[in-house]
Amino acid sequence: MKILMLSPQPFFEPRGAPLLVLWRLRAMSQLGHTIDLATYHVGQDVSIPGVSIHRTPKIPVIKSVKIGPSPTKLLLDVLLFIKAFRLLRKGKYDLLLTNEEASFLAIILVKLFGIPHLYDMHSSLPELLTTFKYGRFRPLIRIFQWLERKAIRSSDAIITAYPELEEHVKRIDQNAQQVMIGSVADEGDSVAVSEADVAAFRASHQCLDGRRVVLYTGNFLPYQGLDLLINSAKQVLRQRDDLAFLLVGGTQDQVQYHRTLVEKLGIAAHFHFTGVVAPEEIPLFVKISDVLVSPRTGGTNTPLKIFSYLQSGKPIVATNLYAHTQVLNNSVSVMVEPEPDELAEGILSVLDSPVLADKLGSEARRHFENNYSVESFIEKTQQALRLATQPETIHEPACQ
Local structure of 247: helix, strand or coil: strand
Residue 134 has pLDDT above 80, yes or no: no
Residue 83 lies in a domain: yes
Mean pLDDT of 30-42: 97
> pLDDT class for 260, splitting at 50, 70, 90?
very high
Are 196 and 56 contained in the same domain? no
The pLDDT value given to residue 397: 45
Residues 248 and 355 in one domain: yes
- Tell me if 399 is assigned to some domain: no
In a domain, 395, yes or no: no
**Given a cut of 70, is residue 135 above it in pLDDT?**
no
Instruction: For residue 183, name the pLDDT band (cuts at 50, 70, 90).
Output: confident
Percent of the chain with pLDDT over 70: 96
Let me know whether 200 and 101 are in one domain. no
Q: Is the pLDDT of residue 108 over 50?
A: yes
Calpha distance 292→346 (Å, rounded):
11
Domain residues for the domain of 117 are: 2-184+374-388
Together in a domain, 67 and 216: no
Backbone dihedral angles phi then psi of residue 350, each to the nearest 5 degrees: -75, -45
- Contact assessment for residue 176 and residue 169, using Cβ atoms and an 8 Å cutoff: yes
Q: Tell me: do 244 and 107 sit in the same domain.
A: no
Q: Please, how many CA atoms are within 13 Å of residue 309, restricted to the half-sphere of its CB? A: 26
For residues 32 and 339, what is the distance between their CA atoms, to the nearest angstrom? 48
pLDDT digits (tens, 9 = 90+) for 348-363: 999 999 999 999 999 9
CATH number at residue 168: 3.40.50.2000
CB atoms inside a 10 Å sphere around CB 330: 11
Asked, for residue 249, whether it belongs to a domain, the answer is: yes
Q: What is the mean pLDDT of residues 55-80?
A: 94
Burial class (CB in 10 A: 0-12, 13-18, 19+), 314: buried
Q: How many domains does the chain have?
A: 2
Average pLDDT, the chain: 91
Close Cβ partners of 213 (under 8 Å, ≥ 6 residues apart): 243, 244, 245, 246, 288, 289, 290, 291
Position 400 in a domain: no
Mean pLDDT score, 369-382: 89
- Name the least confident of 31-35, 114-118, 236-240, 280-284: 280-284
> At CA 308, angle to CA 217 and CA 122, rounded to 5?
85
Residue 398: pLDDT over 50? no
For residue 186, the model assigns a pLDDT of: 58
Task: Give the sheet arrangement for strand 212-217, strand by strand.
Answer: 271-275, 243-248, 212-217, 291-294, 316-319, 334-336
Are 90 and 20 in the same domain? yes
Q: Are residues 125 and 179 in the same domain?
A: yes
Phi, psi of 176 (to 5 degrees): -60, 135
As a whole number of angstroms, the distance between CA 23 and CA 394 comes to 29
CA 120/CA 99 separation, integer angstroms: 5
Please report the pLDDT score of residue 185 as a whole number: 60
Residues 240 and 327 in one domain: yes
CB atoms within 10 A of CB 255: 17
240 and 149, same domain (yes or no): no
